[in-house]
Structure 1
Amino acid sequence: MKNASELLEFDAGHLWHPYAALRNTPARFLARSAQGTTIETADGLKLIDAVSSWWCVAHGHNCLEIVEAIRKQSEKMCHVMFGGFTHEPAIELGERLVKFLPKGLNKIFYADSGSISVECAAKMAVQYQFAKGHPEKCKLVALKGGYHGDTAGAMALSDPDGMHTLFRGIMPQHYFAERPNCRADEPWDDRDFASMEQVVAEHEGEIAAIICEPVFQGGNGMWLYNAGYLKRLRKLCDEKGILLIFDEIAAGFYRTGPRWGMEHAWGTPGAAGKDCAADVLPDIMTIGKALTGGHMTMAACVASEMVADVITNSKISAFMHGPTYMANPLACAAAIASLDLFENRDYASRVAAIEKRLRANLEPLRNLENAADVRVLGAIGCLELKAIPTSDDILRVIKETGVWLRPFCNYVYTMPPLITSESEVDRICEAIKMIGQCEPGPVCDDEFHE
C-alpha cells in the first residue's frame, strides 16, 4: 500500500482538481475519513466541514441511515438502465418527492447532477414552447450574478461576466437582466424589476422561459436578494406566456431557512403546498445537492402538470433527454433515506439556530478594515472582503482553527451541514474572522480563489 506522500505525489502529477492548475496547485489535504461535520486527513488533522463539501452534505458525512440504505440496495441491484425498465427505488422516491415538493410540481425527470437538471429544465422549456407552436421561442432569460452549473448549457445561463467567459464561443447565447439589488433584509423596491421588464419587452417573441436561483445566488457571488422579485417574475411570466424556472439546487432543502427558497415569497412559509400562493410557484424547478444528503450524485428536474401535458400531447411527445445513470438505484435509495431525515428532523428550527449564531458572530465583522459586506440567511453566512488574503494565509488559518473553508474570489463563506452545533458555528465564524484579518494578497493566486 502506498503511503500518503506517494499518493499525493501521484495526485499532483496526474489528477486535475476543480478550478485548479494540474501541477501548480496540488491537493492541500489527503482525506482519510469523514463523519458528521468532520473530515479527518491522513496526517490526523480534523477539520470541520464549513462548506458541506460544496453544499450537499446536509445531514453530515457518512450518515448511518443513508449509508445503510445504499448498502442494502447494493445487495439487490446497483444499476439498470431506465430505458425500458423501472424499479422500486425510483418509484418510491418519486412517490416521496411528489409529497415533499411544492403542490402541483409532480412530474419528475431524474438527472445525474445539478448541471444536467438545469440542462433538462432549459430543454423542457424550449420543447414546451415548440409544442405550443412557438419554435421561435428558444431563448431563456437569466440573471447576472447567477450560477447554474458547469456544463455548456448551464454555463450559458450563468453570469455572462463570471467564471465561464473563456467558453463563450461554445455556449448558446441567451439574455440577461441585472441581478436583483434589493437585499433580502430590505423592503421590496419595485424599481429593482425594471431591468427584467426591459429585457422581456425587447425579446418577448424569442423567450421560452426565465430562470433564477430563488433568493440566493450562490456560486458567482453569494448574493441574497428580496423575495418580492419572485412575485414579480411570476406575474410577468403569466402575462407574457413565458415559463418560470426556479433553480433550487443550492437554496432548497432548508438551506435558506424554509424547505424551499421560493417559500420566502409565500404568504406564510410552511409545509409544502399548505400555505403556498399559486402566483409564486414555478413551472419547472431543479433540485440536487442535498437530495441524497451528499452521499451519491443525483438531481431532478420537476415540471408542473401543465408543462408535462403540453409536451406529452404534442407531435413529439417524448421529452428528448436520457442520461445513462438516470434513476440509478443506489442514488434513489440514498435520496429516500435523505428524505426520511428531512421529514423526521426539525431542520427548520436547526437552521434558525444556525442563522442566529451566524448573525451574532459575523455582523461585528463589518468593522474589519478589509470587510466590504456581511450577508446571512438561514445556514448561509458570507464575509465579502475588499481583497482576499494569500492562499498561504488561508491555509494557515485552516490548520490553526481546524475549520475547512474554501473562499472564492472575495467571498469567505460558510454553508455548514444542517447538523452543525452552535459551538462548531462559533469556531467556523472565528476562522472566517481570522481570514478577514489577514493582510490582502495577490488576486486569485490559486485554487482557494477560483
Structure 2
Amino acid sequence: MTQNNLLFNNKHIWHPYDSIISPLPCYEIQSTCGVYFTLQSGIKVIDGMSSWWSAIHGYNNPKLIKILKKQVDNFSHVMFGGITHKPAIMLCKELLKILPKKLQCIFLCDSGSVAIEVAMKMVIQYWNKKKNNKKFFLTIRNGYHGDTFSAVSVCDPTNSMHRLYNTILPKHFFAKEPKLSFIKKWHNYDIYSFLNFMVCNQEKIAGVILEPILQGIGGMKFYNIEYLKQVRLLCKIYKIPLIVDEIATGFGRTGKMFAYEHANIVPDILCLGKALTGGMMTLAATITTKKIAYTISKNYPYKFMHGPTFMGNPLACAVARKNISLLRKNVWKKQVEYIEKYFKNKLFPLIKHPRIIDIRILGAIAVVECYHHVNLKLIQKFFINYGVWIRPFKNIIYLTPPYIVQNIHLDKLTQSIKSAIQNNSLFIL
C-alpha cells in the first residue's frame, strides 16, 4: 500500500472489529485469481479463509464472471416491490432443487445478519397472526448469528458483542451449549439444559435458533448430531418453529450441502448467505414453510413487514443461480472430502504440541485451538510473510479454504500453522 493510501485508510476507513484510532495493519489487495490474493507490493498469498467462508470456487471464476457481465448488460438493479425479474425467479427455482420439499417460500435479502433479522420477524409475525404474544427466542450459549440488533440479541450474552448492548437487548433464553463433540458417543445429559428451558418457558418461546453442527465464532466447535436431532424433536413436540442458521456452513463446507443434513432433520426456517453467490457479492435468503408463510399472509394486514432496498438484486441473483448450478454438479463433494483428508493427515499429528488444546476437522474446515490467545498484529504479518492469508481470533487458528485448493496450497497453509505454533512471539503468554 502506498504511503498516502495507507495514511488515508487509517485516518478515514473503519474496518470490521477494529479501532479507528490505533487500527491493526491492513494489506492492500491489487488483484485476485484462483486461491490467490496479489498484494499491492506484488506478493502473492494463498487465501485460507475464502474471504470469511464465501469464495468457495476461489476468485475470478470465469463462469461466474461471464454471467455477471451478461446481467450487467441487461440491468443491474430494480426495486423488488411490485416488480420481479428472471434472475430472481431462476435463482429460486435453482434453490428449490437443493432444498427439502418442506421449504418452499423464499425471501431474498442483503446479508447473513439481515437473513437472521427476517427469520426472527417471520416467527414474531407468525405468532401475532395466531393471536399469541410469544416474543422470546431460545438458543444456546457460544452462538453467533450476526451483527445487527436482533441477530446480536441471540448471540452468546457474555462471549460476544452482545454484552456491549445488554441494557437494550431483549432478554432471550440461553441454554448451555452442547458439550459432546461431533465424534463422541451421545448421552442424553447434553440436552437437559435445553430441555429444561423448553419445558419451563414453552408459553413464552416464539422460536428456537441455532447454528447447525458447528458453533462458529463461539469457539469453532463441532457438536454431536444427536443434539440437533433432539432440538428438532422438542420443537416439534412443543410446536415451536426451528430456525437454522446455515450462513457459514451452507453449500458444502461441512461435507454436506447443508450442515443440518448430518442430523437428517429439516428446519422450519433456513437462513443462507456468504457462499450463496460463491463470494462474488452480497446476497442472502430466508426460506420457510408454506405453513409459516401462509399464516403470516392471511388476514389483515396480509403482508410480511420487511423490504430491503436491494432485495433480489438481479446481479447477485444471476451469479447465485450459476453458483448453485455449479454446486449441483457435485464436484465440490470430492473436493471437500479431499481437503478434509488432507487436513487430518497434516494437522492431527500436531495434537501433541504443548501449545495446542485441540484440533478439530470437518469437511473443508480445520480448527487449531491453542492455550494462549494470538497476537493478531504479529501473527497476521507472520502469515503474510509465509505467503498465506489466515486470520485467527482469540486462541483459534482456523482454515476454511476455497474448494479448488490443490496439494501445493494446502501444504503451504498447514505448514504455516506448524511454523506459527513454534513461535512464542506470536502468542500472548
Q: How does the TM-score come out when normalised to structure 1?
A: 0.92
Closer, same or farther in 2 for the Cα pair 1:392/1:315, shift >3 Å? closer
- Structure 1 stretches of 4+ with a deviation exceeding 6 A read none
Give the secondary structure class of the aligned counterpart of 1:317: coil
Alignment of 1:427-438 (within 5 A): 427-438=412-423
Counterpart residue number, 1:127 = 125
Aligned-pair CA distance for 1:345: 4.2
Counterpart residue number, 1:243 = 241
Aligned-pair CA distance for 1:160: 1.0
**Does the 8 Å CA contact 1:117/1:299 hold for their aligned counterparts?**
yes
Matched, 1:380 2:377: no
Counterpart residue number, 1:155 = 152
Aligned-pair CA distance for 1:98: 1.1
Give the secondary structure class of the aligned counterpart of 1:141: strand
**Matches of 2:425 and 2:147 in 1, distance apart?**
29
Per-residue CA deviation, residues 168-195 of structure 1 (Å, 9 max, x unaligned), is: 2232221111111110111222211001
Aligned-partner residue type, residue 236 of structure 1:
L
Give the secondary structure class of the aligned counterpart of 2:369: strand
Aligned-pair CA distance for 1:392: 4.8
**Matches of 1:213 and 1:440 in 2, distance apart?**
34
Aligned-partner residue type, residue 322 of structure 1:
G
Counterpart residue number, 2:140 = 143
**Matches of 1:399 and 1:234 in 2, distance apart?**
43
Aligned-pair CA distance for 1:409: 0.5
Aligned-partner residue type, residue 189 of structure 1:
H
**Matches of 1:333 and 1:294 in 2, distance apart?**
13
Larger displacement relative to structure 2 (137-146 or 390-399): 390-399
Aligned-pair CA distance for 1:313: 2.1
Aligned-pair CA distance for 1:120: 0.5
Give the secondary structure class of the aligned counterpart of 2:167: helix
Aligned-pair CA distance for 1:246: 0.6
Aligned-pair CA distance for 1:443: 4.9
Per-residue CA deviation, residues 135-171 of structure 1 (Å, 9 max, x unaligned), is: 2x11111111111000011011111112211122232
Pick aligned residue for 2:325 from 336, 340, 344: 340
**Matches of 1:201 and 1:432 in 2, distance apart?**
45
Larger displacement relative to structure 2 (138-147 or 416-425): 416-425
Pick aligned residue for 1:417 from 384, 394, 402: 402
Which consecutive residues of structure 2, in runs of 5 or more, have no partner in the other structure?
A: none
Closer, same or farther in 2 for the Cα pair 1:319/1:91, shift >3 Å? same
**Matches of 2:229 and 2:12 in 1, distance apart?**
49
Alignment of 1:7-86 (within 5 A): 7-86=5-84
**Matches of 1:286 and 1:323 in 2, distance apart?**
16
Give the secondary structure class of the aligned counterpart of 1:286: strand
Closer, same or farther in 2 for the Cα pair 1:381/1:234, shift >3 Å? same
Give the secondary structure class of the aligned counterpart of 1:205: coil
Give the secondary structure class of the aligned counterpart of 1:34: strand
Per-residue CA deviation, residues 63-89 of structure 1 (Å, 9 max, x unaligned), is: 111111111111111111101111111
Counterpart residue number, 2:342 = 357
Alignment of 1:289-308 (within 5 A): 289-308=274-293
Give the secondary structure class of the aligned counterpart of 1:204: coil
Counterpart residue number, 1:200 = 198
Aligned-pair CA distance for 1:133: 2.1
Aligned-partner residue type, residue 281 of structure 1:
V
Q: How does the TM-score come out when normalised to structure 2?
A: 0.97
Counterpart residue number, 2:257 = 259
Larger displacement relative to structure 2 (100-109 or 409-418): 100-109
Q: How many residues align?
A: 428
Aligned-partner residue type, residue 262 of structure 2:
H
**Matches of 1:10 and 1:245 in 2, distance apart?**
42
Pick aligned residue for 2:311 from 326, 337, 341: 326
**Matches of 1:346 and 1:311 in 2, distance apart?**
39
**Does the 8 Å CA contact 1:11/1:27 hold for their aligned counterparts?**
no
Give the secondary structure class of the aligned counterpart of 2:345: helix
**Does the 8 Å CA contact 1:362/1:374 hold for their aligned counterparts?**
yes
CA RMSD of aligned residues (A): 1.5
**Matches of 2:303 and 2:281 in 1, distance apart?**
27
